[in-house]
């Protein structure tokens, strides 16, 4: 085993611990997880490890993955586990909250998110939904935000309670985030290791491992305040160029880009 493989194996073992913990909490046994891993090996080998000018064969996939040709054939027939609907719901709700925070039509004289009439009057919650969530019924979006504790409704008035949308009650939506945010982080790390001809993507962290417990609440508050402020600043800029918000935006190609921030904390064992 090479030095790089040893380092990689150690990293993967650390990566797998929280993932396996989540799998076990959801009653997923090793056999089912193993099937997911094998199918992913086949899918990635087929789509990303081709030989230029040649069609990818089942025999080559078997060779580079270490699976048998029979397993490759079987796994190619296994259907994908699609959570696109949950991801779409998350993005839809997040766009509505983002528009509420930054669109002057839905803010008050101080620039803060205004309390909006649901469907009667000018600049209503329904107008907000139609502007940032397409043809989805306003009631469906309102229910999502109410269930997550992001808004509250008093009669015909809707009030924003949180400037960022994170599903707080729907565990399925939270699990779907595992498949999106974690993937984006790993894609960035993969790019920074192997895409040597391209500029590295931004990847930084602040990390200290000997902090007193008493400082944590203050640090958490600082992270929430400054992190939210940074995200709103970036959102204010990049949303102007998003074709879903601005269909007349000119330019070529289609690129997904953004920034994810997350707070981490571990309790260290004292020697």
Please write the tens of the pLDDT for every residue from 28-49: 999 999 999 999 999 999 999 9
Q: What does pLDDT average to over the chain?
A: 89
More confident residue, 133 or 225: 225
Phi/psi at 222 (5° precision): -65, -40
For 136-179, give the DSSP string: S-HHHHHHHHHHTTSEEEETTEEEE--SS---SS-HHHHHHHHH
- The pLDDT of residue 102 is 87
Mean pLDDT, rounded, for 194-216: 93
Which tokens go with 12? 């993967």
Q: Is 26 exposed, middle or buried (0-12, 13-18, 19+ CB in 10 A)?
A: exposed
* Separation of alpha carbons 115 and 123, rounded Å: 10
More confident residue, 163 or 100: 100
Is the pLDDT at 70 greater than 60? The verdict is yes
Please write the tens of the pLDDT for every residue from 3-23: 999 999 999 999 999 999 999
More confident residue, 271 or 214: 214
- The pLDDT of residue 225 is 92
Q: Cα dihedral sign for 228, 230, 236, 238?
A: negative
Mean pLDDT, rounded, for 91-117: 90
Q: How far is the CA of 85 from the CAs of 23, 70, 93, 259, in angstroms?
A: 21, 32, 12, 22
Q: Cα dihedral sign for 85, 92, 261, 252?
A: positive
- With a pLDDT cut of 70, the percent of the chain lying above it is 96
- The pLDDT of residue 125 is 94
Q: Is 144 exposed, middle or buried (0-12, 13-18, 19+ CB in 10 A)?
A: buried
- The pLDDT of residue 63 is 93
CB contact set of 158 (below 8 Å; sequence gap of 6+): 115, 116, 117, 118, 125, 142, 151, 152
* Separation of alpha carbons 248 and 251, rounded Å: 10
Q: Using alpha carbons, select from 135, 133, 134, 128 the residue that is nearest to residue 113.
A: 128
Order of strands across the sheet that contains 157-160: 116-117, 157-160, 151-154
Q: How far is the CA of 14 from the CAs of 46, 159, 198, 207, in angstroms?
A: 27, 42, 28, 17
- The pLDDT of residue 83 is 65
- The pLDDT of residue 169 is 64
Is the pLDDT at 168 greater than 70? The verdict is no
Q: Identify each DSSP E strand in the chain by its residue range.
A: 116-117, 151-154, 157-160
* Separation of alpha carbons 67 and 59, rounded Å: 10
């Amino acid at each position: 085993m090479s030095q790089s493989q040893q380092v990689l194996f150690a990293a993967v073992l650390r990566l797998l611990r929280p993932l396996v913990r989540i799998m076990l909490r959801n009653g997923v046994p090793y056999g089912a997880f193993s099937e997911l891993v094998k199918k992913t090996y086949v899918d990635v080998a087929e789509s990303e490890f081709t030989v230029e000018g040649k069609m990818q064969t089942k025999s080559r996939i078997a060779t580079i993955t270490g699976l048998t040709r029979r397993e490759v054939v079987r796994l190619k027939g296994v259907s994908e586990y699609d959570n696109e609907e949950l991801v779409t719901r998350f993005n839809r709700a997040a766009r509505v909250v983002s528009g509420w925070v930054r669109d002057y039509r839905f803010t008050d004289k101080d620039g803060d998110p205004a309390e909006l009439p649901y469907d009667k009057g000018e600049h209503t919650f329904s107008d907000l939904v139609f502007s940032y969530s397409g043809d989805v019924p306003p009631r469906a979006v309102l229910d999502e935000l109410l269930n997550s504790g992001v808004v509250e409704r008093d009669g015909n008035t809707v009030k924003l309670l949180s400037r960022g949308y994170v599903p707080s009650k729907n565990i399925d939506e939270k699990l779907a985030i595992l498949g999106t945010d974690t993937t984006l982080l790993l894609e960035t790390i993969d790019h920074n290791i192997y895409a040597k001809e391209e500029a590295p993507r931004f990847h930084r962290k602040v990390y200290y491992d000997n902090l007193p417990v008493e400082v944590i609440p203050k640090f958490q508050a600082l992270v929430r305040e400054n992190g939210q402020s940074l995200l709103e600043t970036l959102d204010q800029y990049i949303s102007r160029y998003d074709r879903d918000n601005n269909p007349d935006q000119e330019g070529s190609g289609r690129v997904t880009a953004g920034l994810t921030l997350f707070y981490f904390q571990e309790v260290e064992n004292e020697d």
